[in-house]
Structure 1
Amino acid sequence: MQYKDFTLDDFQVQALEAIDNQHTVIVCAPTGSGKTLVAEYIIDKCIRENAEVIYTAPIKALSNQKYRDFKAAYGDKVGIITGDVVINQNAPCLIMTTEIFRNIVYDDPQRLTHVKYVIFDEIHFIEDPRRGTVWEESIMLAPKHIRFLSLSATIANVEELAAWMQSIRGHEVSIVLHTIRPVPLESFVYIDGGNKAFPLKNLNNALSYANSIADRKKQLIASGATLEQQRTGLPIFEYLKGRELIPTLCFSFSRKTCEKKAFFYKYMNLLTPEESAEAVKIYDEHIARFNLQNYLSSQNLRRLVEHGTAFHHAGMLPPQKDIVEILFSKNLIKLLFATETFAVGINMPARTVVFDGLEKNDGVSFRYLKSHEYQQMSGRAGRRGIDPKGFVYALIDPKFYNYAEVRKTLTGKIEPLKSQFAFSYSSILNLYADRDRDQIIELCHKSFGYFQMKNIIQSKIDRIKTIEKSFDTIDCQLPQPRKTLVQYVENLKDMEAHKRNFNDLKRSLRKTRPEEHAGIRSQMHQAQNDMNFMRRDMKRLKCSHCHYNANCIALADGYVQAKEDLYEISNYMGFDLDEKFSFLEAIGYVDKEKLLPRGEFASQIFGYEIHATELYFEGYISRLTEDELNAVICGIVFENKTRAAYTISNRELKHVLREFRLKIDDMVRIELQHCKFGSVKPLENAMAETAYRWSAGATFKEITSSQTLLLEGDLIRLFRNCVDLLRQLRRTLVQDPSAFAKIESCLKKMNRDVVDAEQYF
């Protein structure tokens, strides 16, 4: 079968036939094998049939790239909507982030009336701990006439995902699998400080070699060798250059390491004089177009480009990232150090992929890469039509490695996708507008998470039935042995809980001040009385006097535990919803039957809905200046990962920020009184004065020269997040002309110069 001058592979033909039969389709195929061609077929088909199609991507960078690609192919038939950019939003083919699509599903489902297909690129993001629920909500709640095309390189449990989608969508879901890479991969381990690589099948030999390298270094240190003498072996990039395995993409999980290594290895001079001149010419023209040539970061990057090395991470200015991608695609950057975001959808393959290490910080702790993460990034190795093979090298530090974890990452089975479903407050409020609480709980039971738990639930039910049959075989004189035994076991559990409480109180006497002892002893006395009453009640049960009760009690204990487990598993989302509804009632967003005005407002804000609602209803929008408002908005959206100390010199601004911070602190405190886990973020004001200065008209260069907390790209992303929230507020305040005008003015002050993403299109 031919399509767009290509002879299609069998898996592409299978996918296109399923699409023609109006199926939802999940395509799992290696990177570079032609999954995007299936998406293009849907776009062609929808445009030809006067239908609409939506292409969603997990990150804005990928959305932007797809917009440029499809714009070149389809012209004004394509538009884009992200938190940063809105262009041609009524086009029949819209590119957007998955969050934007989910928001439309809640906020304006009528807008999707003519949408025939929604394409989910990188569907495996459904298991992202912070954002995965967005994919589930989109699939669960999208209008039933919509079909999906879901694309991924790696899904271990694709049958389970398809079965879930089919069960809730009510139409057939076709699975299309393709495992043959267009460019075969060879994978190796390279030991830092050594001079040879080992195929993965010889992993044991590689790690034995690592141990010998580590022992040799210990001996050198013990002998008093200098640092220079301690440096042994051949750097991996010189090893690769000697074997003509350049260009190379090196994944490093630290921005600083990416930059440091790019500068270190520029001594390799990987470009010819002609290539260097061409690279610098293209670089200078691109940077001058955005007037960034006087930025120190642009000048430093230029020094790397002329030698054929570079780095790529989210802390760079957007035009800097763009030019690195352009030069890399033209083979004018031979050695690129990048963070893992470079592996998400962006079509930038290299001959060789190197892992600078196998550990990453996932925001909670350092951990080894999961097998599917390693496979996803490895897929960037091998350029179709250029390289007969692609090569992957994992660099192992002989001093710090965990044998079991290394083996699991490199050779382990790909982990199955796991649901991360959890309704946000905004989602709950949207649903509560036309559903009652029981209906929302029923909706939770349609989630992928609940679907995955069905087998566990069934095993608990089977366990309970088995124990119930065993009760019938007990040789007991009681008319209802099961009821009596269960009551006895429940009393035992209550007794144990009271004992633990009593012992905890007793231990606390040693850790508290003497003046607190009287209150603690009073609690201990009450606990002792409760246990005495429980012992009396238990003695009344005949089981306590039976000499043959050991087996019966063990049976009843298993029964009670299985029932508790079943109840908790079957209703765990209900517990979470009860807590969230309790909090929303406490702060005046809902009552027992309906949304209240605060809740109606919050339902229209996706992300920081509690903060935005309090900002409006407590009068801050009306009484603050635009610059003060933008500073507060910055405090809402900023996540201060460094926890670095900061000062605010503007006294009036400091007072405003403190006042609103105390208001949000109250929300946080109330939430934790009602919910086991909190999601309302405290105000983070470390960058608020920077946002205030930007809003007041300072240039970006003035801003970046006076703050060191964020890199330039991070600062732009922060300001764009402010713009995103301001746009949501503007849309929500359309019925309040005064507040609408104030937010419109705030937007103009924030969304200018390098922050305005639309200028790049």
Structure 2
Amino acid sequence: MNTPAERYAAAKERTKEADTGLPEFRATLGFDLDPFQEEACRAVASGSGVLVAAPTGAGKTVVGEFAIFEALRSGRKAFYTTPIKALSNQKFSDLVSTYGPERVGLLTGDMTINGEADVVVMTTEVLRNMLYADSDTLEGLGYVVMDEVHYLADKFRGAVWEEVIIHLRDDVQVISLSATVSNAEEFGGWLDTVRGDTRIIVSEHRPIPLFQHVMVGGKLMDLFAEDVAFDQVAETPERSAAVNPELGKLAQRGFPASRSRSFQRGGRRGGNGNGGRQREQISTKVSRPDMIMALDRAGLLPSLVFIFSRNGCDAAVAQCVRSGLALTTTAEATEIEQAIDLVAYKLPTDDLEILGFWPWREGLMRGFAAHHAGLLPIFKEVVEDLFARGLVKAVFATETLALGVNMPARSVVMEKLEKFNGESHVSITAGEYTQLTGRAGRRGIDVEGHAVVLWQNDTDPAAVAGLASKRTYPLNSSFRPTYNMSLNLTSQFGRERARGILETSFAQFQADRSVVGLARQVRAREESLEGYKKAMTCHLGDFSEYAALRNALSEAEKEASKTISRQRRSAASESLESLMLGDIIEVHGPRKLGRCVVVELDTAWNDPRPTVLTEEKHIRRIGVQDLDGPVEIISQIRIPKGFTGRSPKERKDLAASLHNAIADSRPPRRGAAGFNFSGSQEQEEKIAELRRALKAHPCHGCSEREDHARWGERYTKLLKDTNKLRSQISGRTNTIAKTFDRVASVLEQFEYMIPASNDKDQAQITEAGQRLRRIYGERDLLTSLVMESGVLNEMNAEELAGFISALVFQARREDNSDEPRMPSAKVQLAWESSINLWSRLSDAEVIARLPETVAPDSGLIWPMYKWTKGSDLRECLRGTDLAAGDFVRWAKQVIDVLDQLAKIPDLNAGLARSCNRAVDRIRRGVVAYSNVVD
């Protein structure tokens, strides 16, 4: 029973609540608010901003929904922002069902529905653009909900979140919803600094407990030695560290484990009559269909299976279809068929095959599907809907699904714990593991969720346990000033104030805080340096001086060695360039190729790689890296006409000629004979001088010289590291403002900004700069430079759409093929102009020490040109490796840029007309369709 004091405090709280919409809002819910939701809603009701950091599925969005409720109750507007269009579409549908279509709008760049409504859902970029344009839509805005705010760590688009947070009016309440991050206090501290009163509310409680497993050959085994759920891991770290010993044995011995937990449909507690222990040999590998069947037997469907590959997701569906697996009842299949038919009649019949409609349909009818960025948006929406309705039981997905789209499941399966990041295969982080597995356990449906990792040959159970135990990750800013941002800030606030505004970013906030830690490290190292100095004290003289001489000599010798290496490489390259067909050469190098005959020349001037036949009849290519110096020319023979080296007889006959020529050979005619490699004269003189100074130093004769020297080497190394830290401290002070200055220097070079004549610290935005303020994207300045050149002015709609795609598109894989013939002379001229302008811009960025703008990419020019001209999808995608979903996604981004250009004030009239026509012609068929407009 509560004490009188506690009852009095509760009564006061209820009196305060009566003046807010919280009691009324609570009455609309079909469940009780969790403590963190209650606390956050009260903070919103009191007028504070809030940062809510909680696990996936914990119910953070309830706080955002309360802010919307309060806005409508008080007659103010509310914006709900998300990082991606799919999540905006989903939230729009949710809010329409709650408040009706007349009160809710949607703005996603390529789509506008009721944009002046009381509640508008939008991507964060749209809100950023509104703020810079000082849009009338901002009038009356009271609340902004920033869903998935941890996305500001994204290196490509994360800066947008910080721009919005900095520029929103002070009277707008910001409700930030984040995944659980380890530095929530730091991020909340920054929000409090730039937005005023901000409450930080962190919850690590999952309403649905999450259990961790490993699937070994179709058998589910507990990851931890005891039954430890999600919340218990943090509460009992000593237990969470205890991995199931049977998994440890499996990893050590490399043969199947003997202990597994038996599962039964409808619950995880099952038995096999002997307490869950059994002796049976099981295979460690499991096929995808068998894995799904094992989950089904255990009652763990519906399931999300994360496969970090689009092809892998599609292949998984195909494998399940081929296996004959079916997870649906006849009634469920009929319901799925009805949903599919609603989509099919809206798609051109001729496009169904190229869209992969029939295999997609077959998988859905059986209860499973893929979900990835290459899938047509229509198809993804149907998969999401059917999964939410419990009709689709298994979805094979890439990590893009983890970004907010509402698809909770009973279990989440991780096929592997590494992914390809665009450059190499890397292990997933603890934060990524948390984000992905956090979808396991449907609130109001499941009593518990299950995360399952499939056993691989290199699985380390301790590493998996580490991922499962660390559920938080740091939120690090990716903010940096862009060309567009810099012009908008300078135009609105002037150059000096713009610098000051940028200094308020979370990036600078973190940099300033990190300086404190670096300074602490420097102080600690300075104390160690003093200790090292004492340890190397020499009675004959200043040993630190002697140590510096030794270090200088070592560095000089290393530099001379590098010079010799460069000489060897240069001589090796020249010798390869001078080779002729039929030359017999002696190859000295790590591959020990010995004597060979040149059978094919490579004319690349910067990296010659001739093809040779060795005495052992092997065909090899050799390059500079295969040589210790220049090759030696021993002799020469004639290479038979048409020699390819493919047949053993060809190689045998030529090798015989090679042996005969070697036997008759004379000393080398050209090559390395007598070649002298050495450092430069200046380097040799410096080395000699340092050696003389070393011998002349008093400490050189010390009997304990080498003991002192060891301390001296430690001193020198630590001093070098300490100086690096000092440099970091210097570099992190005013880092964002310094980057802004470098961006401004490039803008001045291209005459988008000119220094004010009466004040060097101010700047004037030129007419071109004013136009660039309306262009957003990774290639914003390049797009503006091309537009200002005038090469777009005479283009028709299809030419313009095709070319603009080159300033938007980025191929998933590097394409080394020759540039294709362009659709028209005008597109060709624009392409050549864009390459030349990009080259000039790239040079300027290198000099300014800025990241280089991504080069134009021609990979989408022809498909977009054909589509805008009216071709069907099959014709547009012929000869490309573009997936239909990718084409639609890029087409919408092209629409976005064309729409931006069309709205630029004082734009060339012909160009504006072509932009609008191109938008109308692109927005058709599969590009135009979306469930949100139905």
Band of TM-score, shorter chain: 0.7 to 0.9
SS of residue matched to 1:246? coil
Per the alignment, residue 474 of structure 2 pairs with: 416
Cα offset, 1:414, TM superposition: 2.1
Could you tell me whether the CA contact under 8 Å between 1:15 and 1:38 is conserved in 2? yes
Candidates 635, 639, 652, aligned match of 2:824: 652
Q: From the superposition, tell whether residues 560 and 375 of structure 1 become closer, same or farther in structure 2 (CA, over 3 Å).
A: closer
The CA deviation at 1:646 is 6.7
Task: Determine if the alignment matches structure 1 residue 454 to structure 2 residue 512.
Answer: yes
Larger radius of gyration: 2
Residues 18-68 of structure 1 show CA distances to partners (whole Å, capped at 9, x for unaligned) of 111111111223333332222121112112222111111111100011111
Match for residue 598 of structure 1 among 768, 777, 780: 768
What does 1:638-677 correspond to in 2, within 5 Å?
A: 638-644=809-815, 645=817, 648-650=820-822, 652-653=824-825, 655-656=828-829, 658-677=831-850
Instruction: Tell me the SS of whatever aligns to 1:709.
Output: coil
Tell me the alpha carbon deviations over residues 621-666 of structure 1, each in whole angstroms, 9 at most, x when there is no partner: 2133322221111111111122344763556357335413422442
Are 1:16 and 2:73 an aligned pair? no
Measure how far apart 1:311 and its partner are: 1.3
Mapped to 1, the partners of 2:361 and 2:904 lie a distance apart of: 44
For 1:271, the equivalent position in structure 2 comes to 328
Equivalent-residue separation in structure 2 for 1:294 and 1:697 (angstroms): 13
C-alpha distance in structure 1 between counterparts of 2:92 and 2:550, whole Å:
64
Q: Which has the higher helix share?
A: 1
Q: Deviations over 1:562-605 (max 9, x none)?
A: 54332112143344334333333333333333333333222221
Amino acid at match of 1:315: G
Paired with 1:299 and 1:651, the residues of 2 have a C-alpha distance of 33
Q: RCO (CA 8 Å, sep 6+): is it higher in 1 or 2?
A: 1
1:36 and 2:93 correspond = no
C-alpha contact (below 8 Å) 2:842/2:852 kept by paired residues: no
Tell me the equivalent position of 1:3.
27
- Please tell me whether residue 339 in structure 1 is matched to residue 398 in structure 2: yes
Cα offset, 1:325, TM superposition:
1.6
On the 8 A contact 2:786/2:830 being kept in 1, the answer is no
Q: Report what 2:501 is aligned to.
A: 443
Question: Does the aligned pair in 1 maintain the 2:794–2:911 contact within 8 Å?
Answer: no
Q: Which residue of 2 aligns with 1:358?
A: 417
Quick one: percent identity of the two aligned structures? Answer: 28
1:151 aligned onto 2:192: no
Is the Cα–Cα contact under 8 Å of residues 799 and 824 in structure 2 kept in the other structure?
no
Paired position in structure 2 for 1:368:
427
Match of 2:375 among 287, 291, 316: 316
The 1-side partners of 2:36 and 2:482 are apart by 38
Q: Distance in 2 between the 1:312 and 1:500 partners?
A: 54
Residue 436 of structure 2 is matched in structure 1 by 377
The answer on 1:69 being equivalent to 2:126 is no
Distance 1:313 1:146 in 2: 36
Q: d(CA) in 1 for partners of 2:495 and 2:715?
A: 38
Say which SS state the counterpart of residue 83 (structure 1) adopts: coil
Check whether the contact 2:208–2:448 (CA below 8 A) recurs between aligned residues.
Answer: yes
Give 2:911's aligned residue. Answer: 739
Deviation at 1:532, TM superposition (A): 11
Q: 1:250 aligns with which of 305, 317, 336?
A: 305
Structure 1 residue ranges without an equivalent (≥5): 217-228, 477-484
Tell me the distance in 1 between the aligned counterparts of 2:447 and 2:386: 22
- Matched residue, 2:293: 238
C-alpha spacing 1:433/1:5, structure 2 compared with 1 (3 Å): closer
The Cα of 1:711 is off from its aligned counterpart by 0.8
Task: Give the Å deviation of 1:197.
Answer: 2.0
C-alpha separation between the residues in 1 aligned to 2:71 and 2:371? 36
Task: Summarize deviations over 1:720-758 as a string: whole Å, max 9, x none.
Answer: 110011011111145543332222222222222221256
In 1, are the aligned partners of 2:533 and 2:544 still within 8 Å (CA)?
no
Give the CA deviation at 1:718: 0.9
Q: Compare 5-14 and 77-86 and name the one that shifted more.
A: 5-14
Question: Secondary structure of the residue that 1:594 maps to in structure 2?
Answer: strand
Matched, 1:580 2:743: yes
Q: Distance in 2 between matches of 1:215 and 1:759?
A: 48
Per the alignment, in what secondary structure is the counterpart of residue 151 of structure 1?
Answer: strand
- 2:155 maps to which of 129, 138, 143: 129
Contact 2:808/2:893, CA 8 A, preserved across alignment: yes
- 2:761 paired with 1:702: no
- 2: distance between equivalents of 1:320 and 1:523? 65
Uncovered stretches (5+) of structure 2, i.e. residues with no partner: 1-22, 226-242, 258-282, 535-542, 576-676, 756-762
In the aligned structure 1, how far is the partner of 2:524 from the partner of 2:179?
42
Equivalent pair of 1:11/1:176 in contact (CA under 8 Å): yes
**1:277: how far off?**
2.2
Q: Mean alpha-carbon deviation: is it higher for 508-517 or for 281-290?
A: 508-517
Counterpart residue identity of residue 847, structure 2: H
Displacement of 1:561 in angstroms is: 4.9
Alpha-carbon RMSD: 4.0
Q: What is the rounded CA distance, in whole Å, between the counterparts of 2:929 and 2:459 in structure 1?
A: 42
Counterpart residue type for residue 200 of structure 1: F
With 237-246 and 59-68 compared, the bigger mean Cα shift is at: 237-246
| Partner SS state of residue 717, structure 1 | helix
CA spacing shift, 1:557–1:288, aligned 2, 3 Å:
closer
- CA, structure 1 residues 376+564, in 2 after alignment: closer, same or farther (shift >3 Å)? closer
After superposition, the Cα gap between the structure-2 partners of 1:475 and 1:491, relative to the gap in structure 1 and judged at 3 Å, is closer
Tell me by how many angstroms 1:436 deviates: 5.3
Distance 1:572-1:536 versus aligned 2 partners, 3 A rule: farther
Task: Please say if residues 118 and 146 of structure 1, whose CA atoms lie closer than 8 Å, have aligned partners that are also in contact.
Answer: yes
- Whichever residue aligns with residue 119 of structure 1, its letter is V
CA distance in 2, matches of 1:390, 1:605: 45
User: What are the within-5 Å matches in structure 2 for residues 85-484 of structure 1?
Assistant: 85-108=111-134, 111-169=137-195, 171-191=196-216, 193=217, 195-201=219-225, 202-210=243-251, 212=253, 235-266=290-321, 267-291=324-348, 295-296=352-353, 297-397=356-456, 399-401=457-459, 405-435=463-493, 437-461=495-519
Give, as a single letter, the amino acid of the residue that structure 1 aligns with 2:316: K
Give the secondary-structure state (helix, strand or coil) at the position aligned to 1:423.
coil
Provide the C-alpha distance between the structure 1 equivalents of 2:139 and 2:553, rounded to a whole number of angstroms: 59
Count of aligned pairs:
735
2:920 is equivalent to residue 748 of structure 1: yes
1:324 maps to amino acid = V
- Give the Cα–Cα distance (whole angstroms) in 2 for the partners of residues 230 and 717 of structure 1: 39
The 3-state SS of whatever aligns with 1:149 is strand
Determine helix, strand or coil for the equivalent of 2:405: coil
Instruction: Name the CA distance, whole Å, in 1 between partners of 2:533 and 2:407.
Output: 73
| Amino acid aligned to 1:284 | D
- Cα offset, 1:181, TM superposition: 2.2
- 1:691 corresponds in structure 2 to 864
Kept in 2: contact 1:84–1:757 (CA 8 A): no
Is the contact between residue 671 and residue 678 of structure 1 (CA under 8 Å) also seen in structure 2?
no
Q: Distance in 2 between matches of 1:374 and 1:467?
A: 37
1:460–1:416 CA distance, 2 compared to 1 (3 A): closer
The Cα shift of 1:5 comes to 3.9
What is the match of residue 274 of structure 2? none
Could you tell me whether the CA contact under 8 Å between 1:84 and 1:758 is conserved in 2? Answer: no
TM-score by length of 2: 0.71
Residues 110 and 524 of structure 1: CA distance in aligned 2, closer, same or farther (over 3 Å): farther
